[in-house]
Amino acid sequence: MTEAPGADGPAPGRHEREALDLAGRRLDLAVAAWLGVSRTRAATLVANDRVRVNGRKERAAYPVEAGDRLTADVPAPEGRDVVPEQIPLTILYEDSEVLVVDKPAGMVVHPAPGHWSGTLVNALMGRGGALAPSGDPDRAGLVHRLDKDTSGLLLVARTERAHRVLSAALAARRVERKYAVACWGHLDGERLTVDKPVGRDPRDRQKMAIVANGRTAKTDFRRLARFPSADLLQARLHTGRTHQIRVHLASVGHPVLGDDTYGGGGGRRLAALPPRRHWLHAAWLRFPHPVTGVVVDVRSPLPADLAGSLLALAEGGHSFAAPLTLEYFGFYHDTD
């Protein structure tokens, strides 16, 4: 059994589930909610006999019942070439095996429905030079990903060997990723570890949630500064689940500033954040070089929009003795 992955749509292959919370809906609407696709695409799957209810073909208007078992056979998308584009990128580290990109907020990492151009992969291909081959050419070279509206450091492999070694290091938790994040309200203490499984939200397939059958997810948080309405935190990932930091902070009642998806979008003016920007920045990346094994340490400065947001959050209640940098707040102090 496979699960629908998220905003990019369901993975090709067979998907199964009990109807449960989908009961009472038309079959096409139930499939759309389940797989996170449009009603039109869901209706097409039903019409093409790729959806079964208890092993039977049903019409799109069939009323789903709680005891029904749904299966969907999702076809692979038609092939589409990734077009190299001349898009400026900030590269903070590069050699023949690997490079580290400082991704701006608003840039999608790889091509997908609705974002076939203007992505980081398009830009990387436009630079020229080798990228590690991948089973999915849309994700060539990528070792991990960042959300569209998250800025910061992204690791890219240039050779097949580098991709294999770095992917193994990531799985073994030898790639260290730390984020600067601001959340609404205040943590109960200076440190917090959230160890809760993250999976697809059963009520909204476009979102993630804390679910009992989700994948193990653990994040350490350390408070760097306390402002009248928000905390500035360092977040250290032990795992790399989709939206992990955002879901973990929302689960303890302190959503990320500007996060419209998980309850932190209100007060955007107070936080001086532009539309569709959330306060999350991948600021520190350390990894063993895939050939030499020497630890590579890469740091990304706080973007201007987030530095400006800190000034707004201070509301005159905090005087700064130096420019607002992550160094000022002790972000890079290795206290683990």
Distance of CA 220 to the CA centre of its chain: 17
Task: Name the 3-class secondary structure at 165.
Answer: helix
User: In Å, what is the CA distance from 319 to each residue of 275, 313, 324, 333?
Assistant: 27, 12, 11, 22
Q: Pull the structure tokens for residue 216.
A: 């193990």
Query: Residue 6 phi/psi, 5° resolution?
Result: 155, -145
Strand ranges of the sheet holding 69-74, from the earlier edge strand across to the other edge: 13-18, 69-74, 51-53
Asked about 68 being catalytic, the answer comes back as no
Q: Pull the structure tokens for residue 150.
A: 């998250």
Of the residues 28, 147, 149, 259, only one is catalytic, namely 147
Residues with Cβ within 8 Å of 164's Cβ and at least 6 positions away in sequence, in order, are: none
List active site positions.
147
